[in-house]
Amino acid sequence: MRQFSACIEWLFAREGDNFADRIRMAHRAGLNAVEFWRWTNKDLDAIASAVAETGIAVSGLVAEPMIALTNPANKERWLEGLQRSVTVAQRLGAPVLIAQAGDDLPEFSRATQRSALISALSAGADILKGSGVRLGLEPLNTRIDHVGYYLSSTTEGLDIVDEVGRPEIGIVYDIYHSAVMGERTEDVIGGRVDRIVHVHVADHPGRNDPGTGGIDLLDRLNWLFDHGYRGRVGLEYRPLTQDPEAVRAVVTSLSA
C-alpha cells in the first residue's frame, strides 16, 4: 500500500492557527505522515508533542540554513546548520532532509557552482553517516516557480548525486517541477530510482490538487513504484479547499 505524507505548510492550514494542530488534523483525516519546510521558525516542542500524541510520522523537513550551495563561501555555514537539522530530524523521527541547490550565480561559472555543490554534499554525507537520515537534493522548475534556480534538470541532479557517490545523498523527485520542465519520468529517472529519497506531487497549471490539472500523476507514480520506489509520496500542493475530504479523495485517486 502506498504511503502519503501531507505537507502541512499548505494542507490543513488555517489563518492564525497553531501549526502543531495541523498534525492533529492530518491524523484525523487519515494521513499517517506529515512533512514541513523550515524548522527554525516553528515550535519544535509543540510539534514533538503532537507527533507523540497522534503517533503520526514526520517524513521530512528542510535542511537549514537555506543558502546557496552553489556559492563556495557558504559551505561551512551550511554544514553547521546541517548538523543541527540532523538533530531535529532524529528527534522527530524524520528519515529525510531536503536540500536546495540555490540560485545560478552569475559571478561563478556553472562548473564552479557544480563543484561547490558536490563538495558541500560530500562533506554533508559525513555528517549524515550513521544518523538514519538521508539528504535529498531537489531539482526545481525555472519556468514558473523558481526562475534563476541552479538545478532545473532531474538528470543533472542525479548525475550530481552519482558524482558524490554516497548512499546518504539522493534526490527529492518532485513530479510537478519535473513535468513543468517538460520531463518524462521514465526518461529522466531511468534505472536510478534507488537514488530517490522522497517524491512530491502537485498538478499543473496552478500547483493545485492532483486531478485539477493535466499532469499524468498516477501514471508517473505507477512507473516509479513499478520500478522499485518504496518511499512516501508527499502531497505538496496548494489545496483549492481545506476540506479533509478533498485530501482523502486525492489519496484515493493516487493509490490505484
pLDDT digits (tens, 9 = 90+) for 169-226: 999 999 999 999 999 999 999 999 999 999 999 999 999 999 999 999 999 999 999 9
- DSSP secondary structure letter of residue 102: -
In whole angstroms, give the CA distance from residue 16 to residue 169. Answer: 36
pLDDT tens for each residue of 223-251: 999 999 999 999 999 999 999 999 999 99
In words, the CATH class of domain 4-254 is: alpha beta
pLDDT tens for each residue of 49-81: 999 999 999 999 999 999 999 999 999 999 999
Residue 3: the pLDDT is 97
- Say if residue 256's pLDDT is above 80: no
Q: Are strands 96-99 and 233-235 parallel, antiparallel or unpaired?
A: unpaired
pLDDT tens for each residue of 29-50: 999 999 999 999 999 999 999 9
- Say if residue 110's pLDDT is above 80: yes
Count the alpha carbons within 13 Å of 125 in the hemisphere toward its beta carbon. 16
Question: 86, 108, 110: which is closest to 97 by C-alpha?
Answer: 86
Please name the residue ranges forming H helices in the chain: 19-28, 44-54, 75-92, 110-128, 154-164, 175-180, 185-189, 217-226, 244-254
Q: With contact defined as beta carbons under 8 Å apart, do 27 and 8 qualify?
A: no
- Say if residue 16's pLDDT is above 90: no
Grid coordinates belonging to 49:
508533542
In whole angstroms, give the CA distance from residue 66 to residue 44. Answer: 18
pTM over 0.85: yes
- Give the C-alpha distances (Å, rounded to integers) separating 179 from 152, 208, 214, 237: 11, 14, 10, 14
Residue 161: the pLDDT is 98
Q: With contact defined as beta carbons under 8 Å apart, do 113 and 70 qualify?
A: yes
Mean pLDDT calculated for residue range 107-136: 98
Domain ranges of the chain: 4-254
Mean pLDDT calculated for residue range 8-18: 94
